A and B are shown apart, each in its own frame.
Chain A
Amino acid sequence: MKCLVTGGNVKVLGKAVHSLSRIGDELYLEPLEDGLSLRTVNSSRSAYACFLFAPLFFQQYQAATPGQDLLRCKILMKSFLSVFRSLAMLEKTVEKCCISLNGRSSRLVVQLHCKFGVRKTHNLSFQDCESLQAVFDPASCPHMLRAPARVLGEAVLPFPPALAEVTLGIGRGRRVILRSYHEEEADSTAKAMVTEMCLGEEDFQQLQAQEGVAITFCLKEFRGLLSFAESANLNLSIHFDAPGRPAIFTIKDSLLDGHFVLATLSDTDSHSQDLGSPERHQPVPQLQAHSIPHPDDFANDDIDSYMIAMETTIGNEGSRVLPSISLSPGPQHPESPGLHSEEDEAEPSTVPGTPPPKKVGTGGGGRGRRWGRQQPPELTCSLCSSAHCSSAPSWPLYAPPRAPALCWLKTVRVKAEPRT
């Protein structure tokens, strides 16, 4: 194999490697007839990522020397990343990058031709390997959304960098909502802040999903693809199914395409199932009751009506301004402590007419919402006169997951093909 990357594409390649390094520790490099594929999978097999660079991406592309089999190799992500470690330096000094696979010496040779005639050669050791392939089919996912990566990038900006998981769902009015996800913990007082971002349907080029659907996935892994897509100014598509099914994130342009397949948190309340189901891996979605979202789920989660409710309470309840929302899904009340609730303590009394000190919540102004476990107050919406918050707005994922660990494993089936 021999390929030559020139100009700005060297940095693109470097960025792709940085993206892949967020997922796994080993890079599978496979030159194919339709391009060079770089793939990785994480250690728990809950995330898979693949970039395919078309032959046109390269100034020269030769998948295999004539007469030879296609070689493929697996190298340590750290070693390959070290070649492209400094993206700034790549941009500034590297003019060409030549990658070749020398079967005889078992070395992957990456040669950077830099300014002033300087040449940097890396001889990286590799292992032979089987082809890494994940079984997935975006077309089989019933739900899909597509937006410029920039829009999604701005949407995840408010989330803390350390946040592990995020929930993506469709709310009332076909709004796309991103919400930070925190696992239930015995002493969950640490996770006091929940962040939520709301995007209107108009921000999306395509939105094909019903209200109430939602999935939870790893934000850190998603950010890997997102930063690449933003820098390349591409659109990002998210194909998803029921909770527990892998979500597929794709980007594409004429010279490359990328797929990130991430496990999603399974819906573990009584309506869903399937942790032990062998069918879980099938690309074909299962037509079971659990996959149809409850009409109540998430559809009632209307931030505007909460705001109205808030306004009506100022002056009514001196110390408590923000309505508290019960988090229990429907009639169920989880036994576990649940998300922390500061309002269980008595609030200091405040001067009526002035907003109390804001303790919990996100965002500016009055948009913050309290997360608590007490009964919702009796509130009447001034618009529709219906009692507000009396029924749980819930979204299935507010419920504490019963066995979150299991659903992360083996969501992506990796097929190993023996080398012929």
Chain B
Amino acid sequence: MPLLTQQIQDEDDQDSLVASLDNVRNLSTILKHATCFATKNGIKVTVENAKCVQANTLTALRMCYQGYGYPLRLFLEEGGVVTVCKINTQDPEDTLDFDFCSTNVINKIILQSEGLREAFSELDMMSEVLQITMSLDKPYFRLSTFGNAGSSHLDYPKDSDLMEAFHCNQIQVNRYKISLLKPSTKALVLSCKVSIRTDNRGFLSSQYMIRNEDGQICFVEYYCCPDEEVPESES
């Protein structure tokens, strides 16, 4: 089954957009104000928080939108039972363009999620920031927190079984507000793999690959801007 079928012009409905998907997954924990982008490759639902975090998800659902002024219609079908939702739309604000393009990516790693899940759940919440270090030699990939008690470092060596890909071009140390990253743990819990990329500005892109029961793949993507300039490393 294709992830979605997109028909730009449906002669029956005269909808501007019809998209149908056959399995709804519960990725909508992050949806508050969602902006929908319909692209050739799929529907992107974008959510923003304080203009510095963006989470995108490609989901599956039959959505019909007739155009400006009309409500968004959602059709959910499960076991023969059809639920129809009509959601009033709002004028979209411009979503922030994080301007994160692959060409600017400096470092990229792909990790199996099982290694990160518990670590993220045990992150010291007394720490305001999560510091991510990617380096050519030890510690390779390090997550650090700085709380009242002292600092904690979580190191993943590049030759670990959990590390599927490790591409590091230069050493980068960036800090991100933990409160902004916490929402991504939900996607982490559901995912099987995560890709973490940082670009030349220190912007973080994390993509979570989620495989549902049917074997279909969805992605949830987070962007986060760094908290401040790279500090000296603390012990």
Contact = CB atoms under 8 A, between A and B. Distances in A.
B142 to A, nearest CB: 9
Nearest to B151: A123
Q: Indicate the member of B148, B150, B156 with the most A CB atoms within 10 Å.
A: B150
Given A82-B124, A105-B235, A116-B115, A124 B149 contact: yes
B151 A116 contact: no
Interface stretch (B29-37, B64-72, B157-165): B157-165
Given A86-B122, A116-B115, A118-B156, A79 B150 contact: yes
Nearest to B114: A116
B42 to A, nearest CB: 33
Interface in A111-127: 116-125
B153 A120 contact: yes
Interface residues of B, number: 21
A42 to B, nearest CB: 20
Nearest to B162: A116
Contact of A93 (B118, B150, B151, B157): B118
Given A89-B118, A118-B115, A123-B235, A79 B157 contact: no
A108 to B, nearest CB: 8
A118 B157 CA distance: 7
Interface residues of A, number: 21
A78 B118 CA distance: 19
B178 interface: no
A198 interface: no
A85 interface: yes
Given A82-B124, A85-B122, A86-B118, A120 B152 contact: yes
Contacts of B157: 117-119
Interface string B203-229: 000000000000000000000000000
B152 to A, nearest CB: 5
A117 B160 contact: yes
B122 A123 contact: no
Nearest to A92: B118
Contacts of A32: none
A300 B6 CA distance: 86
A124 B159 CA distance: 28
Contacts of B162: 116-118
Given A93-B118, A116-B161, A116-B162, A121 B149 contact: no
A135 B133 CA distance: 49
B89 to A, nearest CB: 44
Interface in A63-121: 75-76, 78-79, 82, 85-86, 89, 93, 105, 107, 116-121
Given A117-B161, A123-B151, A123-B235, 4 more contacts: A76-B148, A79-B149, A118-B115, A122-B152
29 contacts: A76-B148, A76-B149, A79-B148, A79-B149, A82-B122, A82-B124, A85-B122, A89-B122, A107-B150, A116-B160, A116-B162, A117-B160, A117-B161, A117-B162, A118-B115, A118-B119, A119-B139, A120-B152, A120-B153, A120-B154, A120-B155, A121-B152, A121-B153, A122-B149, A123-B151, A123-B152, A123-B235, A124-B149, A124-B150
